[in-house]
Amino acid sequence: MSDYDDVWLVIPAYNEGTVIADVIENARKTFPNIVVIDDGSTDNSAETIMTTGAHLVQHPVNLGQGAALQTGFNYALKQPGAKYFATFDADGQHQTHDVEKMVALLRADEADVVLGSRFIEQTGEVPWIKRVVLRTAATISPTARKLNLTDSHNGLRVINRKAASALRITMNGMAHASEIVATLASSDLRVMEVPVDILYTEYSRSKGQSLINGVNILFDISLRERGRK
């Protein structure tokens, strides 16, 4: 039995077969409950995940990271005893000690949502171009400003059951990060930001968001309310 039986890590994975097993096993040293959403990977991700102790949920087709996160929340919410939900990246750039820190804040009932930030304290090194773009994104985003966020696109978040039930991610692609922030800003959930360390490995750099994709994200967000039924 672990101290973190009520915590579920939600890891969206798309073609991460080479690293996913290591990331899962590493995280499972602390967190026994992990659900990995295989977002229609075409590599051996699914088989690899099967060999680990993580729950596997497979999208029949590739839908995007936002959709994968929502699926993960839906699944984790159904698990008995689940109280806290953490979104965690599959490429190994997040660290479990940060999650522990964030869960502790939720346990103390200081917030409903704890977001990781790369910029509160400059603990790790962030490539400078990324720093400029991400800071700009956080500064120009009206919702991020409202919540006083310094980093609106961090993949590390820990939320409690109330927040997880309230979340409805409709942006299937990468615009979900902004969508989550917007949802939080318009809700009465208590949001907090804590500094986290991101490991920019060779692998995560190669898989990471290309900056040109920011254009796609902006476009998606501006159309967010459109075409909804």
Query: Shortest distance, CB of residue 220 to other proteins, whole angstroms?
Result: 11
Token pair of 159, please? 């939320």
At 183 the three-state DSSP class reads helix
Binding site for other proteins (CB under 8 A): 1, 5-6, 35, 37, 50, 55-61, 63, 67, 70-71, 74-75, 78, 80-81, 170, 172, 223, 226-229
CA distance 14 to 92: 13
For other proteins, the closer of residues 61 and 215 by Cβ is 61
Query: Shortest distance, CB of residue 222 to other proteins, whole angstroms?
Result: 11
For other proteins, the closer of residues 39 and 98 by Cβ is 39
Query: Shortest distance, CB of residue 69 to other proteins, whole angstroms?
Result: 11
CA distance 27 to 34: 8
Query: Shortest distance, CB of residue 63 to other proteins, whole angstroms?
Result: 6
Q: Are 154 and 116 spatial neighbours (Cβ–Cβ below 8 Å)?
A: yes
Q: Are 59 and 31 spatial neighbours (Cβ–Cβ below 8 Å)?
A: no
For other proteins, the closer of residues 73 and 88 by Cβ is 73
Query: Shortest distance, CB of residue 97 to other proteins, whole angstroms?
Result: 23
Pairing between β-strand 55-58 and β-strand 34-38 as defined by DSSP bridges: parallel
Pairing between β-strand 157-160 and β-strand 84-87 as defined by DSSP bridges: antiparallel
For other proteins, the closer of residues 15 and 58 by Cβ is 58
For other proteins, the closer of residues 61 and 212 by Cβ is 61
Query: Shortest distance, CB of residue 35 to other proteins, whole angstroms?
Result: 8
For other proteins, the closer of residues 128 and 229 by Cβ is 229
* Closest by CA position to 134, among listed 217, 194, 68: 217
What are the strands, taking DSSP E only, across the chain? 7-13, 34-38, 55-58, 84-87, 113-117, 157-160, 191-195
